[in-house]
Amino acid sequence: MIVPIYYGVARVGLDLTDYMSHLQEIDDPLVQMEYLKKLVSQHEPFTLKGGGLFHLSFGAILTGSSVMGKKD
């Protein structure tokens, strides 16, 4: 929870004129594109990439352990 909150708070204090002046100082167009992506991008958790496979696998592990752990 810390990274998305920091990501949003750090962008709030962004001064657009300073950002654009730094952007104009960069010579490489590819670097400029990546720099612009930082302005409009949102935080994307690593664990939710690939359809949330990380969360699905841990859900399967927890389900399996709870089903196998129950003995009458």
Parent domain of 50: 46-72
Question: What's 25-64 look like in SS3?
Answer: HCCCHHHHHHHHHHHHCCCCCHHHHHHHHHHHHHHHHHHH
The fraction of the chain above a pLDDT of 70, given in percent, is 86
What is the total count of domains within the chain?
2
**Residues 36 and 61 placed together within one structural domain of the fold:** no
For residues 26 and 52, membership in a common domain is answered with no
- Residue 18 tokens read as 């300073």
Residue 14: what pLDDT?
A: 66
Q: What distance in Å separates the CA atoms of residue 61 and residue 70, rounded to the nearest whole number?
A: 14
Shared domain for 50 and 37, answered yes or no, is no
Indicate the residue type of 17: T
- Predicted TM-score (pTM) of the model is 0.43
State whether 34 and 57 are in the same domain.
no
Q: What is the pLDDT of residues 9-30, one digit of tens each?
A: 776 566 778 888 888 999 999 9
Q: Which two tokens stand for residue 15?
A: 């001064």
How do residues 21-57 score in pLDDT, each as one tens digit? 888 999 999 999 988 887 777 777 787 787 788 888 9
> Token pair for residue 63?
């389900």
